[in-house]
């Protein structure tokens, strides 16, 4: 299996696209602005979208993608999300004001999109060419949110994505029980912006160190940092490197990398 990094930035700027990952060719994890780099054929080949939460940087391309390829599909695009996320999409995006209600276009019997509730702890079986198992993980954010652990349906190592989250002990309880191939975890703000990170329920490097200290001894896998604000990316990574260099608990001896768009992760 492979994960194509379409977008991994916390905001937009030149060469910065917001959160979206394409797993194999048919599963989209979040639908940020990075989706816009896909061809029409690639977008039309996506059968399922799983969303971590309703914030704009994670759903911005969903309505535009549906408009681009809806009439090229033979069945609705299935969007899987927490009930609160679906309610927000219906109320604030697909409301015939901001964007057409694609649940009833071209008809209620054959719409462009269908929404499917998920809950934390649930496991989904999605994918046709390469069947996938997606477990819904807990997240702590300003709106109802979740993360995901993705593996082959028949078992094996997991690609784990934290989603947008702050301190989150239940997440680590579950992750420590999984065979993890790699972890993608957000660190949106530098330590200088700690007050803003606390208010917006995002991680900073020093809180990241506290969180990674929850990883059980003996477990080692690459850790990719995502969702950095473009204006702070270099500062954030410098602060993480400094903590690693000082052997701070949680970051000592960890394989920590900066996630970059256009990369491909294989597991």
Which pLDDT tens digit goes with each residue over 106-145? 999 999 999 999 999 999 999 987 899 999 999 999 999 9
* Per-residue pLDDT reduced to its tens digit, 196-229: 999 999 999 999 999 999 999 999 999 999 999 9
Question: If you count them, how many residues does the chain have?
Answer: 267
Residue 125 CB-half CA count within 13 A: 5
Helix axes 205-212, 233-245, angle to 10 degrees: 50
> Does 243 have pLDDT greater than 90?
no
Interval 41-93: pLDDT, tens = 999 999 999 999 999 999 999 999 999 999 999 999 999 999 999 999 999 99
Strand partners for 182? 159
> pTM for this one?
0.96
What's the pLDDT at 250?
76
What is the model's pLDDT at position 165?
98
> pLDDT digit string (tens) for 159-182?
999 999 999 999 999 999 999 999
Of the CA atoms within 13 Å of residue 153, those in its CB half-sphere come to 9
Residue 253 has pLDDT above 90, yes or no: no
Compute the C-alpha angle 9/24/166, nearest 5°: 35
What SS3 string covers 123-143?
EEEECCCCCEEEEEEECCCCC
pLDDT band at 252 (very low <50, low <70, confident <90, very high): confident
The closest of 64, 58, 60, 57 to 43, measured between CA atoms, is: 64
**Mean model confidence pLDDT for the chain:** 96
Amino acid 4: pLDDT: 98
């Amino acid at each position: 299996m492979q994960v194509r990094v379409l977008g991994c930035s916390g905001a937009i700027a030149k060469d910065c696209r917001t959160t979206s990952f394409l797993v194999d060719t048919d599963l989209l994890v979040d639908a940020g602005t990075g989706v816009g780099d896909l061809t029409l054929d690639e977008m039309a080949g996506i059968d399922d979208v799983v969303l971590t939460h309703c914030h704009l940087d994670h759903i911005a391309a969903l309505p535009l993608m549906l408009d681009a390829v809806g009439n090229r599909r033979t069945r609705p695009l299935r969007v899987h999300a927490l009930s609160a996320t679906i309610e927000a999409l219906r109320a604030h995006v697909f409301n015939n004001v901001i964007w057409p209600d694609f649940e009833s276009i071209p008809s209620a019997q054959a719409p462009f999109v269908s929404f499917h509730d998920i809950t934390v702890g649930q496991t989904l079986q999605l994918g046709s060419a390469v069947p996938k198992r997606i477990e819904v993980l807990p997240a702590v954010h300003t709106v109802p949110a979740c993360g995901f652990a993705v593996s082959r349906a028949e078992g094996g190592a997991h690609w784990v994505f934290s989603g947008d989250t702050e301190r989150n002990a239940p997440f680590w309880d579950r992750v420590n029980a999984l065979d993890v191939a790699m972890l993608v975890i957000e660190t949106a703000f530098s330590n200088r912006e700690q007050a803003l990170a606390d208010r917006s329920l995002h991680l900073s490097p020093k809180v990241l160190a506290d969180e990674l200290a929850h990883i059980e001894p003996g477990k080692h896998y690459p850790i990719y940092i995502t969702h950095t604000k473009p204006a702070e990316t270099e500062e954030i990574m410098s602060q993480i490197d400094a903590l690693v260099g000082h052997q701070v608990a949680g970051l000592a001896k960890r394989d920590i990398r900066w996630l970059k768009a256009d990369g491909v992760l294989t597991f």
